[in-house]
Amino acid sequence: TMAPPRLTVIGTGYLGATHAICMAVLGFEVLGVDVDEGKIAKLASGEVPFFEPGLPELLAKALESGRLRFTTSLAEAGAFGDVHFVCVGTPQQPGSDACDLSYVDAAVRGLAPHLDRRTLVVGKSTVPVGTAAGLTTLLHELAPAGTDVELAWNPEFLREGFAVDDTMRPDRLVFGVASDWADARLRAAFQPILDQGTPVIRTDLATAELVKVAANSFLATKISYINAMAEVCEAVGADVKDLADSLALDDRIGGKFLKPGLGFGGGCLPKDIRAFAHRAEELGVGQAVSFLREVDAINRRRRARTVDLVRELLGGRISGARIAAWGAAFKPNSDDIRDAPALDVARTMHGLGGHVRVYDPAALDNARLAFPELRYGESALDAARDADVVVLLTEWADFREIDPGALGEVVAHKRIVDGRHALDAAMWREAGWEYRALGRS
């Protein structure tokens, strides 16, 4: 058996910071690396630079143990680590569906010359299939002559809001490796998780890259499928909530990711399906995943339909109406506003001349910074004061728990659009509200 490898984690954003902290808590010596000095300083002083339940406590524990340190130096990383995890971002390129690989490229280029022993470099970032093959070549070109380095791929499936649990107790681990040695090193780097009985799929690098985008494409497709059914329901006066509940009880289908509503957003699903469609086209197999374009289109139409529902409820005019927009984050229990359907809808209504006031329990500061043109409330009730209509856009528990009677006291008109099927329609109607939801009559 090998001694536990020393780990570095390059890129301490959402994925990397979580990985570094969890690995240190599991007993490894870990060095977190980032080009952003501010981020490194925060993490080193015990502050998690984003919202993630449970992570600040684990960061404190990891720092206290002395097993977790941070640096901005890739030279230090090369000198320290036996296994290097590359966790940098791969955002969508402006004006294109392709993803920007410059950070991944820079991480490998920056690290390779400092590798001084037999080393494993492990990609975790979400990349277009084929990237690992190119990085392997690059690594061999740039590593010092005589140094034996290998590249492996280990996709990450963590969800925001559940990042700690998903990292500590993943459903599965996927090891894309080119040799038994790389497989053994990865196993050593995940030993405490393997000891829990976590299943491992050992495969080639390209398959490992594909697993991630295939999984996210499937999830996005499932959401758009039920939202497509919502469109059909709207045309015929049927009820997509009852439809979804009925489908969910077929255990071949299942209820997860089958919740109809405003659709998906965030830093992963939208960009991943676009980049995958783009990559498949480059590979000459665009037709195989052309449905992903439709998945994206269905998802965007839900946003437009939500604005339509608000307009209908207002008797045909958004301009001049006072609108409370509940929610800004792309999903509850997150402060992330990347590609957030909620803010997209709020901005559209603002653009149409609505007086929109937004409230979100966690993402308010982020939303204010990104969209200073919108108005913001201090609470759900504050945002709803004198409103002509309330629009629920992110299904926070705070909104679900609001009493329709109390809310009725502060609004100008008791009208509500439930963009996430989060509320009990019968209860709101009994309390005198005009209640409308996507895919229900």
Catalytic residues: 268
# chain residues binding ligand UDX, by CB under 6 A: 19
Find how far residue 413's CA is from the centre of its chain. Answer: 35
Burial 197-228 (b: 16+ CB within 10 A, else e): eeeeebbebebbbbbbbbebbebbbbbbbbbb
For residues 359 and 396, which CB has a smaller minimum distance to ligand UDX in the complex? 396
Stretch of residues binding ligand UDX (CB under 6 A), selected from 53-61, 81-89, 152-160, 406-414: 152-160
Q: Which of 241, 331, 350, 415 binds ligand UDX (CB under 6 A)?
A: 331
317 is a contact residue toward ligand UDX (CB under 6 A):
no
CA torsion, ordered 418, 423, 424, 428, to nearest 10 deg: -70
Please check if 203 is assigned to a binding site: no
Segment contacting ligand UDX (CB under 6 A): 18-26, 107-115, 154-162, 348-356? 154-162
Stretch that binds ligand UDX, among 43-51, 90-98, 155-163, 363-371 (CB under 6 A): 155-163
206 sits in which H/E element: helix 205-236
Is residue 50 a contact residue for ligand UDX (CB under 6 A)? no
SS3 (DSSP) at 342: helix
Q: For residue 154, give the nearest of 246, 85, 56 by alpha carbon.
A: 85
* 432 carries a ligand binding annotation: no
Report the run of H or E that residue 269 belongs to, with start and end: helix 269-282
Applying CB under 6 A, does 160 fall inside the site for ligand UDX?
yes
397 — phi, psi (to 5°)? Answer: -60, -35
240-259: contacts with ligand UDX (CB under 6 A): 257-259
Q: What angle do CA 62, 66, 71 make, to 5 degrees?
A: 85
Distance between alpha carbon 235 and the CA centroid of its chain, in Å? 32
Q: Is 295 in the site for ligand UDX (CB under 6 A)?
A: no
274 contacts 265 by C-beta, under 8 angstroms: no
Q: Is 223 in the site for ligand UDX (CB under 6 A)?
A: yes
CB of 405 to ligand UDX, least distance (A): 28
Q: Is 414 annotated as a binding residue?
A: no
Which residue among 11, 263, 377, 439 contacts ligand UDX (CB under 6 A)?
263
Residues engaged in binding ligand UDX (CB under 6 A): 157-160, 216, 219, 223, 257-259, 261, 263-266, 268-269, 330-331
Q: Which residues are part of a known binding site?
A: 34, 39, 90, 126, 157-160, 212, 257-261, 265, 271, 331, 338
